[in-house]
Amino acid sequence: MTNSMTRRRWLSGLGLLAGAAMTMGGVAAQAADSVVLGALRFTSHGAGFVAYEKGYFEEEDLDVSFEFFQAAQPIAVAIASGDVDFGVTGVTGGLMNLAEKDALRIVAGVLHEKKGYDGMMVLASNQAYEGGLTSIDGMKGKSVAMTQVGSTFHYMTNLIADAQGWDMSDMKMVPLQKVGAMVAATQSGQVDVMIMVPHIAKALAEGGSAKEIGWLNEYAEYQISTMITSVDNIENERDKVERFIRAYSKGIADMNRVFLAGEGAEGEKEELTKMIHKYVYNDRPYEKAAPSIQSGAMYLNEGAALNKTDVATQMQWFKDEGLVDSDLTVDQLVDDSFVETF
């Protein structure tokens, strides 16, 4: 064999090795699991936005994209249909009924109504306020906005009614399907009362479009929103679920540390606000959106811990109201193997 032939074969071999290395590199580059996260454009969903922008999902080999909704219950439907892999959503009747069909489970906790932190504000329309509805004590018999029957807004109204000793039949619940429609109905006086997240509620009150009459946490503390995923993911993609929760939890830690505890480094609050602004009030200039985003921060469960005890309480109310199948158990609703529960 001549030296030239040997050299050609050697070089050819190097080319094959290089090509194989490039192919392997390409596979490695594409190895991240694609994940769709269902969310609302709320500051309270900011942990997911921060986790994405700071690369926490990427560090866990997750290629995350967002699908945005205008109410909580459709997120659970999207999980069941496979259109969304994970969802951050309120504990709703629709979610519970899908859990009873073994379509999904709650795997972690996110937003928690907690005393000492700004939470859900109770607002009266200007017309109702001028008519004498100046405090929550006057809510009995008034019309109350909600997205759907069985929504978190429905349950929140029950918490207030129960604390006041009223019956839910004393309330006039008005389903409006979308948060935007709830806001519009309150501004126009078509409904008397609305319970709303602070980044929206504070702006309405400060702008004179509605009147603040109280706060939900004066009456109750409860697990508002949770993280959900499909039973298929839990059974066949457990590692992906664990990685997703781990990354999301880092976003929670940043949100609580910077916005609630005020322990962020110089400029960090603005940095996180700009990240969230890409998803919340992104149709407004940053200077106008920033105050609402920052004032809308709410308490998020550290480590994505879950108040399973409260979720069980919520489940029982939905069952008592005939909104959820009476055979549903809390262990069908919650998989408590991923995070700390209490």
**What is the CA angle 324-326-331, rounded to 5?**
90
pLDDT of residue 30: 56
Measured between alpha carbons, how far is residue 32 from residues 27, 46, 65, 85 in Å? Answer: 10, 23, 12, 14
pLDDT of residue 8: 46
pLDDT of residue 320: 95
Could you tell me which residues come within 8 angstroms of residue 257 by beta carbon, excluding any fewer than 6 positions away? Answer: 263, 264
Give yes or no for a contact between 38 and 79, defined as CB atoms under 8 angstroms apart.
yes
Domain 33-114+223-333 has CATH 3.30.200.20: no
pLDDT of residue 10: 46
Q: What are phi and psi of 154, to 5 degrees?
A: -65, -50
Mean pLDDT by 10 residues, the chain (342 residues): 47 48 48 95 96 98 97 94 97 96 98 94 98 96 96 96 95 96 97 96 96 95 97 98 98 97 94 98 96 94 98 97 93 97 98
CATH classification (class only), 121-220: alpha beta
Give yes or no for a contact between 157 and 146, defined as CB atoms under 8 angstroms apart.
yes
pLDDT of residue 29: 53
Q: Which of 210, 169, 204, 304 is nearest to 250 (CA)?
A: 304
Q: Encoding tokens for residue 162?
A: 């129960």
Domain assignments of the chain as residue spans, ordered by start: 33-114+223-333, 121-220
pLDDT of residue 23: 47
pLDDT of residue 31: 79
Asked if the domains at 33-114+223-333 and 121-220 fall in one CATH topology, the answer is yes
What is the signed CA dihedral for 23, 24, 25, 28, rounded to 10 degrees?
130
Helix (H) / strand (E) element for 232: namely helix 231-236
